[in-house]
Structure 1
């Protein structure tokens, strides 16, 4: 009987019809090998023990890496789609890129960093607007206060859109922060300075102070008490004057009246209406006054604050005057004092003396008013 030997494992196959080796499972040659084949030939072919695993059991597909690539691509696509949907839902249209543009030191991102570092693209239009730090805003908003000097007067605490008048006439100024700088040449030695500004929601406000070159060129509106405080007014600045404004106006009017007598002119009646100036011209040029010189460096002119009455757009009050006059021809001096009732009216953007009358001391003390002409 013819037998075959497996060339892979060397096992003898007695079944002439076998196509595979029952030991290793490899396919058999169609031609049988004789049993009496040389012994060394059989040993040479018997290179693998009968219990070794077949080669096909360790076979690996050379294209197996493609499966992993496809799997990774699918995962990435799914993640990107999920991030886009999440961003549209929860970020209100903010670019997802902005989530990763963080400052390396603070861990937060700002608009300027993203714009500087990112390429020019549609991403820049979708970046959220960064809010500046509050401390940075305060630092940017700070402006060095204006400095008063011999050539400029500084009014502090003035609104940006205000109008500034000097003795009723509007003057130019420059804003430095909240300080208004007015050229000293625009302001006489003694003047009523007024600020007029609109109020949010409608209406107007005004603040008035008196400038006197002797007391410096730095003034603050709304400084203290009722002097220079902002109050409601008409569009032209007309408002009930404060006690301080009335008191200084009394002094300024009397200073001008005495200078008119000394120089025999009416040019110093800056705070007098045409009506009052005409009436007082008789006193300025009278024989008694024309022969005297009045001391304008040492006189008293004050109002009685308890007598101030604001009514029908006018102000009525009582005042006290004292001065020293010297006879021109002899040099003899004497004290002169009197009491007056005064009426103020608003004219040309400033309060002015409109009428004035002598008042007895008793009526002054009783706060009675004289009969005005």
Structure 2
């Protein structure tokens, strides 16, 4: 190689080395500023949170669609263009008499939709509410808009690197070692639980839970013996109780574990996540509690404990803003409802003239609806079914129900 070639080769090597050193300095600076042990984990967290946001967006879109269908059916079944809370109710039939307020189709549907939508949102997360979104219903177009903020949980590098560092006091490490051997639970797992539950504080107290492993007095009263082992004041007893409880949860059969989760966690996505836990993960989930989305529940408890084992704890260091913008067509003419009440009034007038009910119904024949009218005392009860059929010719139309008084001409008809 000639001198010029050697010179350029040397320069190239030096530049590569400087670039590598520069990148390492930049990466370390970014990690130190953000507290993130592995900057790459931030990208993974963002991707994971984006996936969760897509799930939430899909759930909201599906909830809008279902709430629309159920809300529309409820309006029909309760002749809901009237405020039936101000009407008389007889065995499930709204009796349209003077005093029933006419709401109008838009307001009636909005009220019914909101109630259903709200209940569905709370199944996903009890903190969610239909009040979090703006609802507009104009010209048959239902629009739901709003924003939800999702936390970005990124593992820090500063906490939990040395499990012993925060626990080398009050005989904690000695008790951990002793009960790890007695119950067959990993020392590091016990330490991680202690750090997650109390940060190693022997005087930790929350509600009715005590000590380094936060033993709940209501759930485990046998560990609060004033004359013997008292987990509320004795660190060794507290760790004994916590490790025995955790060991029992780890040994719980998968069938029993899954039944407990399904019984108290109704959020479909969180439930699916919990049902994926087995062994130690399932035990940790039960240690925190099988519920989800509640004030005392930590849906990420398992991940936080395991993060401590892996050299860090999860921290929320940012948010992802999810914009919700859902539009849905409500293909129904709400004017049909008061028109059916008018038809009911004509049938009532016919019955008052001592004409047979079936003849009165036939006089008001409409191919789109079938009327079933029953006379009970002073009431005519109407079940009006839409003549819609499925592929097997079964009637699938909704039933519109209301009642009119035979001897009273004071009905409120819009």
Indicate the structure with greater strand content.
Answer: 1
TM over 0.5: no
Looking at both structures, which has the greater relative contact order when contacts are Cα pairs under 8 Å and sequence separation is at least 6? 2
Indicate the structure with greater helix content.
Answer: 2
Which has the higher Rg, Structure 1 or Structure 2?
Answer: 1
TM band (smaller chain): under 0.3
